[in-house]
Amino acid sequence: MSAAPQLIDSPNPAPPVPGETPSDAFLADLAAESQRLESATPDEILAWAHERYAPSLAMGTAFGPEGCLLLSLLPKLAPSTYVFNLETGYQFQQTLDLRDRICEKYGLEIDMLEPELSVPEYEALHGGPLYKTDPDRCCHDRKIKVLQRAAVGRTAWMSGIRRDQSPVRAKQPIVAWDRKFHLVKISPLANATKQGVWTRLLKEGVPYNPLHDEGYPSVGCWPCTQKADGSGDERAGRWAGNAKTECGLHTDGGGI
Ligand code: SF4
């Protein structure tokens, strides 16, 4: 384990208010902190995030293995974190059951944030399921807009993305300004590997989605998730047959 990161003594530059562009000093401070945390463990990054941003710190999770690992650490390292899931209405029942197991085991409350329209209302409005014809719009309506609403009044959010998951995520800093959601974005597992996450998950008995044992390397909404295609690409089963590889939460201003 590396040495605990030292907290800087000087006051931190204030985050921008809604509608304001972040100052150069603020961005430089985030970049310096991100660089310093490159040698920190995920536990140390979580503790740092909590010390700096609680009680305005949030975490989004889709209950992937990375998210489950972070959730298991929250009670000890970042106990006041507001945790949410983007409940699109299209999640697997196994994912919703996992949410219950995690909450029970770690004593967590996880807010299930829903879009304005239910699935039947949304599909009726668009003459059928939009995930078949316009998945970008579907993700925007049922994920991005929901997180934009949840971001109001908060300062920072965390997610479990790893750089080695995909080329889009490869340059994700540990700490960065997320202009899409007007929040500081913290990625405590940016440096982690798939094997490292799974080794710790299994060693520490953290609950995970049983769909992984059935051949799904990455689990999202059921209409847009398939089993592994043999390519070794852990996100190949998401939006299979479509050029789309991300829902948009981690692209275009997601700290990259
Ligand atoms: S992953 Fe698929 S079903 Fe879920 S919000 Fe995106 S397009 Fe819609």
Tell me what percent of the residues of the chain surpass a pLDDT of 70.
85
Question: Is 221 assigned a ligand-binding role in the annotation?
Answer: yes
Query: pLDDT tens digits, residue range 91-115?
Result: 999 999 999 999 999 999 999 999 9
103 is catalytic: no
Distance of alpha carbon 254 from alpha carbon 74, whole angstroms: 22
173 located within any domain: yes
What's the whole-model pTM score?
A: 0.89
Structure confidence at residue 7 as a pLDDT band (50, 70, 90): very low
35 has pLDDT over 50: yes
Is residue 220 lining ligand 1, measured as CB closer than 6 Å?
yes
5 located within any domain: no
Ligand 1 atom at shortest distance from the alpha carbon of 141: 5
126 located within any domain: yes
- CATH code, domain with 31: 3.40.50.620
Structure confidence at residue 230 as a pLDDT band (50, 70, 90): low
39 located within any domain: yes
Domain that includes residue 63, residue range: 24-224
Structure confidence at residue 166 as a pLDDT band (50, 70, 90): confident
Distance of alpha carbon 34 from alpha carbon 176, whole angstroms: 7
Structure confidence at residue 80 as a pLDDT band (50, 70, 90): very high
202 has pLDDT over 70: yes
pLDDT at residue 31, as a whole number: 96
CB 70 within 8 A of CB 42: yes
CB neighbours of residue 206 within 10 Å: 20
113 located within any domain: yes
227-252 average pLDDT score: 66
3-16 average pLDDT score: 62
Question: Using CA positions, which residue lies closest to atom 4 of ligand 1?
Answer: 221
* Three-state helix/strand/coil letters over the chain: CCCCCCCCCCCCCCCCCCCCCCCHHHHHHHHHHHHHHHHCCHHHHHHHHHHHHCCCEEEECCCCHHHHHHHHHHHHHCCCCEEEEECCCCECHHHHHHHHHHHHHHCCCEEEECCCCCHHHHHHHCCCCHHHHCHHHHHHHHHHHHHHHHHCCCCEEECCCCHHHCHHHCCCCCEEEECCCCEEEECCCCCCCHHHHHHHHHHCCCCCCHHHHHCCCCCCEHHHECCCCCCCCCCCCECCCCCCCCCCCCCCCCCC
Return the top range by mean pLDDT from 168-177, 228-237, 244-253.
168-177
Question: Is 139 assigned a ligand-binding role in the annotation?
Answer: yes
138 has pLDDT over 80: yes
Is residue 89 lining ligand 1, measured as CB closer than 6 Å?
no
Chain mean pLDDT for the chain: 89
Give the end-to-end CA distance of the chain in Å, rounded to a whole number.
Answer: 27
Instruction: Identify the active-site residue in 156, 197, 247, 249.
Output: 247
Please count the structural domains in the chain: 1
Question: Is 224 assigned a ligand-binding role in the annotation?
Answer: yes
Higher pLDDT, 9 or 243: 243
pLDDT at residue 109, as a whole number: 97
155 located within any domain: yes
Task: Compute, in angstroms, the gap from residue 134 CA to the centroid of ligand 1.
Answer: 9
Question: Using CA positions, which residue lies closest to atom 8 of ligand 1?
Answer: 138
